[in-house]
Amino acid sequence: MKTYHWIAAVLGLLMFAAALWQLEVADSGLVVTNTKVDGLPITLISPDDDDSAGRPLVLVGHGVAGSRVIMRGYALTFAHAGYNVALWDFAGHGSNPNPMPEERDENTLVADADAARTAAQANGFAVDRTAVLGHSMGSGMALSYGITHPETMATIAVSPVSRDVSPVLPRNLLLLAEGLDQRFVENAEELLQQAGGQGGDPQDGTARQMEVIPGVEHITILFSSTAQQFARRWLDDTFGPQPGASDFTDRRMMWYLLGLVGTLLFFWSLSPLINSLDDGYEEEGMMTVGRRIGALLIGALGATGILYVLSSAGLNLNQLLSLIHI
């Protein structure tokens, strides 16, 4: 290997290590618990302090083809701001093994939110002050939940779908629409009109607000710090700023990208070693059966050994990079 290959290898490892460290830092100061209720996978996130049990609870639901993982940016923003958060995977999504119904059943979606709320209560969280947020399909759940559960103190609909709202319910309604998709802007405008228009007082539950997030579309609104901060401020207006709150900006996508680039750079640096293996192959460049079996065994045993060492060192692999859950 030439000098620049060694430099690339070291740089790739440093980039990957930096990304891994920053992704783990995103959860620092928080307690993350994964559980199940009747097969429904649920993640609970709360501040790691003595006040966590009595903090307001925010239920967070994802959209079609999404999962609780993709909603993690909102959850982390809320948890760092002092709120308890519950996320889950709807049927047919994420790690939920149940098939997605052929026809979307709003009652089932709301029932899943109720199950997440029950799990939060069983985990010691207070549920007397609850808010709900949902994206796309999840926004329909959130709007329906706020209507059928009038005690819900705030409802946040991201990329909102159509529902029959009123000036009374849901209480404290925030609508966040993506600027690059006019359909959802129009949905939000219609919902705002049905809900009585902009204004109201969050202290009596009549607050209504619509925000169009510039430069984002249906998916990127989930990673928009602007949208996340609007949602966080809406909770603070409803419940009041929480003790021990800290500001959090979700930059995990940038760190994922850096880690991917570092990984590719590291393996590119190994290309001279891989190419040198060709010297012993047959003329057509094919590996012998023995070499192939040996490579498979070494790769499998090596990966298993690395994971064992990382697990023994205390790395929680079932939550690595917030991508793998029960």
What integer pLDDT is reported at residue 320 of this predicted model?
54
Rounded CA separation 128/109 (Å): 21
Query: Do 137 and 112 contact (CB within 8 A), yes or no?
Result: no
Rounded CA separation 47/54 (Å): 11
Across the strands, what pairs with 59?
86, 132
What integer pLDDT is reported at residue 101 of this predicted model?
74
Long-range CB contacts for residues 178-184, cutoff 8 Å, separation at least 24:
178/212, 178/213, 178/216, 178/217, 178/218, 178/220, 178/221, 179/212, 179/213, 179/214, 179/215, 179/216, 180/215, 180/216, 180/217, 181/217, 181/218, 184/159, 184/160, 184/218
Rounded CA separation 194/178 (Å): 20
Question: Mean pLDDT in each 10-residue stretch from start to end of the chain (326 residues)?
Answer: 84 90 88 91 93 90 93 97 96 84 80 95 95 97 97 98 96 97 96 97 97 96 96 98 93 88 87 62 55 71 71 60 52
Q: What is the pTM of this model?
A: 0.85
What integer pLDDT is reported at residue 283 of this predicted model?
47
Give burial (CB, 10 Å; 0-12/13-18/19+) of 214: exposed
The whole-angstrom distance between residue 128's C-alpha and the CA centroid of its chain comes to 24
Owner of token pair 């590119």: 268
What integer pLDDT is reported at residue 32 of this predicted model?
94
Owner of token pair 């993640």: 43
Q: Which helix (H) or strand (E) holds 65?
A: none
DSSP characters over 82-132: T-EEEEE--TTSTT--SPPPSS--HHHHHHHHHHHHHHHHHTT---SSEEE
In the three-class reduction of DSSP (H, G, I as helix; E, B as strand; rest coil), residue 55 is classed as: coil
Nearest to 42 by CA among 69, 81, 66: 69
Sheet holding 40-47, edge to edge: 30-37, 40-47, 84-88, 57-61, 130-135, 154-158, 173-178, 208-213
What integer pLDDT is reported at residue 299 of this predicted model?
67
What integer pLDDT is reported at residue 59 of this predicted model?
98
Give burial (CB, 10 Å; 0-12/13-18/19+) of 321: middle
Rounded CA separation 151/128 (Å): 8
In the three-class reduction of DSSP (H, G, I as helix; E, B as strand; rest coil), residue 18 is classed as: helix
What integer pLDDT is reported at residue 274 of this predicted model?
62
